[in-house]
Amino acid sequence: MLSSSVIKRPLIGLKHFSTSKCLFQQNGFIAHSLKKLIQMPMMNSNRTLAKRPLLTTMGAILAGSVFGYGCSIMANSETLETILVEADRLYDLMDYEELYKLLHGHRVNSETLQTILVEADRLYDLMDYEELYKLLHGHRVFKHDDILWRLGRATYERAKAAKTDAEKKVLYKEALGYVEEALDINPNNFAVHKWMSILIDYVYTYEGTKARIAQSFNIKNHMVKACELNPTDGTSWHLLGVWFFSVAEIPWYQRKVAAVIFASPPEGTFQEALYMFLKAEEVEPNFYSSNLLYIGKCYLKIGKKDEAIEYLKRAINYEQKTKDDFDSLKEAKELLKGMGIS
């Protein structure tokens, strides 16, 4: 049980804040509820004696979320607003028993969060991105990093399917916004950094070469951080490899422009890219057709033809399920054809 002094600590100096202010803050509902309970008059039925159990019991339950113990609130913004308005009404009426029931009834724990995430991952594996978006967007007010980065990923998939560049641009920015919010909540989540790197790159693709080069170090830093936080995630190593490969492929004239604009333009070699791709394959063997393709391309770039052929053939024989798989198949065939191999 948390002591009343511990429960009060996050709210010291807060005299009042409206529902609109707390609505979209991390754990805003909990902070609102906790404030109500802490401010309750400590009295018995005759309103004369202190009645600590209600404060300490409810405070301990709700303070869990404030201190990261796994309790939080799940609702969409409209539902949450309704709950907060009713909580204010009951508090003003001093109907603390009903207020307790209302707030306690809308408390959820980490098991509920896990249920949402499992369903989200199931929909992602099924490539049902519209339903996935609806599920996660409906729970975005939960303000949990694992919901928000997944929402960013779902929005990214919707952007890829959009028909016009204007639509894509808007959706990529929306996706980045969700992941930035996740980063504010938990800067130690490797998936957040991974998706920060992906979405910054996509957003700045529409802002011109100068803007994209300016963001290249930011992109790389997020990739490196993702690898540091979870060195067994093949995708993070793959993305870092793509960064080095893309930099190594920059034409000389673009390098000269970059050197004029930036004191230290990005640098990378095909050998560095190959190391990252092989590392990805080491930690997650055969996890991604594009990784096999890039290994083959790196070997071609450094003049190792036999190794290149091996990996390009592996990319061709990879089971095609996604658009990336089919794109890798097509490019690998074209590269082998260029080498005189059908």
Written as one string, the DSSP assignment of 228-260 is: HH-TT-HHHHHHHHHHHHHHHT--HHHHHHHHH
Residue 109's pLDDT is 57
CA angle 334, 219, 232 (to 5 degrees): 75
d(CA 206, CA 167): 12
Residue 61's pLDDT is 37
Residue 226's pLDDT is 98
Q: What would the CATH number be for the domain defined by 111-281?
A: 1.25.40.10
Residue 104's pLDDT is 66
Q: Where are the domains of the chain?
A: 4-108, 111-281, 288-342
User: For 162-180, how does the pLDDT look when each residue is reduced to its tens digit (9 = 90+)?
Assistant: 999 999 999 999 999 999 9
Paired with 73 in beta bridges are 107
Residue 330's pLDDT is 97
Q: Are 146 and 117 in contact (CB under 8 A)?
A: yes
C-alpha closest to that of 42 among 3, 5, 94: 94
- Which residue is listed with tokens 């290994």? 295
Ranges of residues in the chain with a pLDDT under 70 are: 1-81, 104-111, 258, 261, 263
Residue 26's pLDDT is 35
Tokens, residue 179: 């992941």
Residue 105's pLDDT is 63
Residue 74's pLDDT is 42
Residue 110's pLDDT is 66
